[in-house]
Amino acid sequence: MTTALDTSLLEKTQPLSDNPDELERLLKHLSQSADDNAIDRVITLYSKTIVALEQEIWKQKPTAGNIGHYHEAFKVLEQLHELKTDDTRYCFKIVIPVADRPQHLKSCLDSLLELCQAYGYGGYKDNKFNKISVLIADDSKDANNITQHKNYCTELTNNGIDTEYFGLQEQLTLVDNTNRDNDSLKRIISDSKEINEPLKFSHKGASIMRNITYLKLNQTLSQGNHNKDTLIYFIDSDQEFSINTIHSDDKHYAINYFHYLNEIFKKQDVSILTGKVVGDPPVSPSVMAGNFQQDIKNFLHAIETAEPDATCRFHQDETNRKDDAAYHDMANLFGFSNHGQAFDYHCTLKGNHTNADCFCDFSEKLGHFFYGEHPTRKTFFHYEKGFTATTPARTVYTGNYVIKPENLDHFIPFSTLKLRMAGPVLGRILNARLKDKFVSANLPMLHNRTVDSTGQSEFRAGVKNNDASTDIDLSNEFIRQFYGDVMLFSIKKITEQDGPFNTTDSHNIQSILNSTYEAIRKNYIEKHGMILQLRTQIDTDLNKKTAWWNSKPDNETNISQAIENFNTFLDNILSNFAENSYAYQQISSPETAKQYLDPMLSSILHYPDDIKNWKKYLAS
């Protein structure tokens, strides 16, 4: 007969990992009792200790030391779960759509492995993490990249995380078979009728790729009862399972994502949950060019008054501001305040260096902007109310959302239009259909638009550049962003009128699309004028004869290169935002807009039927 368990040690603020003797005694007692109820009580009490430790970390600031201590506390929690006769926590199927991004994918998968090793969620047995698996959905065109992606799948499996590769041939076969059974689904997963080679089925776009993956997941998870125990976790390949803070340039594995997602879905009535991102913004540079130029102008004014050879003075502490969408020129459209203030640049150089060195280094970052990086307005993690607090959501961050298998009927809408803002559009529809079962939680991932080796994205739909040239063409992404905004705010109006989206009133929808187009067009034109005005001001400041960078000796090639970098940036702003640019003509001309608005109208009118046909097919 075992003695009664003394739970007082669990109510201490220090985790059991600090006292191996107490831990060993507790584990021995629980293993002898073989009582799942008793173990659950211990888990509940010990979880409170972990939350107290977590709160103390964020009350102060995270360090390698206290985060490591936090990891050890969770590993003790895993030991407690291992004593149970049945671990009823959720399994996670992590789905990563990728297109020609081997470096990004490698960093993403490495971060997942490090997360699993740090926290051990679900236990590690027979050289495998028991409750974590991965599906790589490859939309790549380059054969070398495809090979690398496959190799990474094998590598991750060998490191203990089961990883499946979902390639072009399998996707094409699945889509062919699906369209054969229901031709109308091609509006959701694309038309494969004229495609007979797998490589020609590449670069379909992230939304189509996710919808096709929904079909595969529905097949896989509908077998047996496994789907009841699995959550599907969609992430992007340019993200990592870590966060940043204002306190240092380090990234921290400070969130046990799987533990807290399990807690939320077990204890709350949630169907779909979305997280967010920290780090680089999740929007197109086409809607950040105004505020970034404000910051460049601010930087030039500040550094002009600095002694070029003096110690760099641009290492001021980051302001602990929480300004949602501060990177967005039109944040006001989304309900966020946009005060138009400039943000300071925080130098990232290490060691001894001068203001002139900072000037040169900043100039190197200007080109990164066109690939989605924002050197002056990164987003930082804020702890807020912990990791289990949820709020009603209205946007899906398609690079960070979790869905129950029975909710795969909520496909990414209007995917074949290939517009940006697919997540916010889906979010508005989910908000109307699921109400408070669609939530947001403070579980962000670190977003890295560019890779360190080049300062560019490996592949970015809608962004073109010639490797032998510094010219960058944003026109396709700019157009997709603009009409994505038109679609979003049209859907917002429709859902506000019709709730769960049942309307088929062609005249009404046409009217909504036209009026929304005019409103968004007006907003873009206003910001467009500001962008060109700021460009002229920066050009004037850069070429000011009294500026020290224009009076340095000619043999200082680093300064000359920096000035050239600034001029290249300004040239790219002009080519992408001038009134005669292709993108600007496509969004500002009502006559040209018809070729975009007509397919949008057709897609919206067909959407109710698409929902019915999709649900029917998934259930078949």
Three-state SS annotation for 229-279? HEEEEEECCCEECCEEECCEEEEECCCCHHHHHHHHHHHCCCCEEECCEEE
With 50 as the cut, is the pLDDT of residue 3 above it? no
In the predicted model, what is the mean pLDDT of residues 444-455?
Answer: 78
Could you read off the pLDDT of 191-233 as tens digits, one per residue? Answer: 988 898 999 999 999 999 999 999 999 998 866 555 679 999 9
C-alpha to C-alpha distance for 371 and 379, rounded to whole angstroms: 17
Angle at 526 (CA atoms; ends 524, 527), nearest 5 degrees: 65
From residue 506, alpha-carbon distances to 247, 512, 513, 602, 603 in Å are: 53, 10, 10, 9, 11
pLDDT of residue 592: 87
* Spatial contact of 157 and 593, defined as CB atoms under 8 Å apart: no
Least confident window among 255-259, 281-285, 572-576, 611-615: 281-285
Could you read off the pLDDT of 87-128 as tens digits, one per residue? Answer: 999 999 999 999 999 999 999 999 999 999 999 999 999 999
Could you read off the pLDDT of 523-545 as tens digits, one per residue? Answer: 888 888 899 999 999 999 999 99
The domain defined by 91-283+381-462 folds into: Spore Coat Polysaccharide Biosynthesis Protein SpsA; Chain A (3.90.550)
What is the DSSP track for 179-224? HHH-GGGHHHH---TT--SGGGG----HHHHHHHHHHHHHHHHTST
C-alpha to C-alpha distance for 449 and 457, rounded to whole angstroms: 6
Most confident stretch, 40-49, 167-176, 180-189, 577-586: 167-176
Is the pTM here over 0.85, yes or no? yes
In single-letter form, the type of residue at position 511 comes to S
Least confident window among 124-133, 316-325, 488-497: 316-325
Is residue 416 within a helix (H) or strand (E), and if so which, with residue range?
none
**Coil vs helix vs strand at 524:** helix
pLDDT of residue 461: 61
Angle at 526 (CA atoms; ends 520, 532), nearest 5 degrees: 130
Q: Please choose, from the candidates 103, 424, 421, the residue with its C-alpha nearest in 3D space to the C-alpha of residue 238.
A: 103
* Spatial contact of 375 and 362, defined as CB atoms under 8 Å apart: yes
C-alpha to C-alpha distance for 338 and 330, rounded to whole angstroms: 8
Exposure of 255 by Cβ count < 10 A (0-12 exposed, 13-18 middle, 19+ buried)? buried
C-alpha to C-alpha distance for 396 and 467, rounded to whole angstroms: 34
In single-letter form, the type of residue at position 116 comes to C
Structure tokens at 349: 């150089």
Other CB atoms within 10 Å distance of the CB of residue 322: 10
- φ, ψ at 183 (rounded to 5°): -65, -25
**Coil vs helix vs strand at 59:** helix
Per DSSP bridges, beta strands 464-465 and 91-98 are unpaired
C-alpha to C-alpha distance for 94 and 133, rounded to whole angstroms: 6
Instruction: Kindly state the percentage of the chain with pLDDT values over 70.
Output: 87
C-alpha to C-alpha distance for 429 and 409, rounded to whole angstroms: 12
pLDDT of residue 342: 77
Confidence of residue 449 (pLDDT cuts 50, 70, 90): confident
C-alpha to C-alpha distance for 530 and 533, rounded to whole angstroms: 5
